[in-house]
Amino acid sequence: MKKSIVYLVGAGPGDPGLITIKGLECIKKADVIVYDRLASPRLLTYARPEAELIYVGKSPDRHAMKQHEINQLLVEKAKEGKVVTRLKGGDPFVFGRGGEEAEVLVENGIHYEVVPGITSAVAVPAYAGVPVTHRDATSDFAVITGNEDPAKENSKIYWDKIATGIGTLVFLMGMSNLSKICEKLIQYGRSPSTPVALVRWGTRPEQQTLVGTLQDITEKAKEAEFKNPAVIIVGEVVKLREKLAWFENKKLFGKRVLVTRSREQASVLSQRIEELGGEAYEFPTIQIAEPDTYAPLDAAIDALSSYKWVVFTSVNGVKYFFNRLKKLGKDVRELHGTNICAIGPKTREALESYGLIVDYVPSEYRAEKIIAGLSGRLEPGDRVLLPRADIARKILPQALKEMGAVVDEITAYKTIMGAGDAQQVIEMLTRKELHVLTFTSSSTVRNFVQLLGAANLKELLKDVIVASIGPITSTTARELGIEVTVEAEEYTIDGLVDAVLKAVAERQG
């Protein structure tokens, strides 16, 4: 029987890639996830479909749920026998009130574990190009709450000690007290010319950095309307930003990109986006599933020696074909003497991973080029096997039949509707939080439109870059009323990423 437990998990400062491996495991196995506003929404996509998601968002000036209510919620869910993951921005024990939650759990006899997270006190300065310690600047730093009013009596902050006794000072969530913080530091001996950096929404696409000194940063922040959530960094290390800034220099910095591929396939595109400084938001509009019956594919596999060509049009087709081959107790030797065609480089790589040499890959990765390439290589009566999706275009089998081939078009896998959070996507589009939308197939377009079901879709996508992987996908998009901004020249994921980079550069230029 599964034992109840509460995991107090640090979600990191915002970039979903900064979650720890153990933290991610806790998300994946949770029955209940209790999460804050600073935890990346993308982390919730790793939750089990049946997991209960409870938002208890907290900000300095507004609480969706008070702390004592959150404490009680954790106790109640654990007493129901649930595995509870309490997902908190940054680290749970660095101004995260994780200690208070742990105390309540102990008092109620509830088993719990703490999973530390990467604190914004270190990560946010790093993403702004500011190391909190540096050999030539300082060998110490302090993390201080920015919420406490520096003017109050009986302050728990020893201003007279920290003002000159510590090299780098990092204040968390202190924008409302910025002027008083600066005044206190100057009052107790810190030079007014000491460099200060303010970093808002650090590690996320919205990251903004403002640099000044103790003397002028308050006025600069007022002019720029700089608000929480922000980290305040005080010290000589701020000067290093001019030399060490890296995140904001990436080509896709500031861009949140919607990935509409199936969850199994999304990782490659998401990884490329994040390498370039963007944030990939996965909204799987399609899912890949087993066919309703394997009987036709099994029959084709039993008759493999009779086929002159086997044409693979996707990596999924390769995967499901060879999984079934193995299930039937067979291997690649069944393809002896059969010619192999792959529609693109990734499909070819998938076939080569099984030790096969691909006989033909078209110069353009679509059905029309396969037909042109096989012309002259097929004779009337030659048999061709097409193991592919249930909704694949019919132009390829029809054209091969016109060339005199005997074509067996077999469903190796199904493409079904995805289960992405459509309401969340609509809200993000409304708030202009999505900057690029990617489509990798006609089915991703159709399902995107159907899942959103938005009558004002054109308005929602008004300022969004829409990137298509190729002409067939682009045609589907236009038929459904979506204006395509850019189309990949090479119909691959790398080609799609190049197209996105081109469109972003043109917009910024």
Show the tokens assigned to 373. 């390439």
Q: How many whole angstroms separate alpha carbon 172 and alpha carbon 450?
A: 42
Closest among 477, 399, 401 to 437, alpha carbons compared: 477
| Cβ-contact 114, 8 below 8 angstroms | yes
Show the tokens assigned to 200. 């808002």
Show the tokens assigned to 92. 């749970």
CB atoms within 10 A of CB 143: 18
Question: Which residue carries 């997902």 as its tokens?
Answer: 87
Q: Are strands 112-115 and 195-200 parallel, antiparallel or unpaired?
A: unpaired
DSSP 10: E
| Cβ-contact 26, 11 below 8 angstroms | no
DSSP 340: E
Q: Which of 31, 82, 91, 173 is catalytic?
A: 173
| Cβ-contact 214, 186 below 8 angstroms | yes
Active site residue 58: yes
Query: What b/e readout covers 167-203, taking b as 16+ CB neighbours within 10 angstroms?
Result: bbbbbbbbbebbebbbbbbeeeebeeebbbbbbbbbb
Q: How many whole angstroms separate alpha carbon 375 and alpha carbon 384?
A: 13
Phi and psi torsions of 230, nearest 5°: -145, 155
**Residue 439 three-state SS:** strand
Active site residue 36: yes
Q: Which of 15, 31, 58, 180 is catalytic?
A: 58
Please say whether the dihedral angle defined by the alpha carbons of residues 264, 269, 273 and 276, taken in this order, is positive or negative. positive
First and final C-alpha spacing in the chain? 60
| Cβ-contact 142, 163 below 8 angstroms | no
Active site residue 173: yes
**Beta partners for residue 129, in sequence order:** none
List active site positions: 36, 58, 173
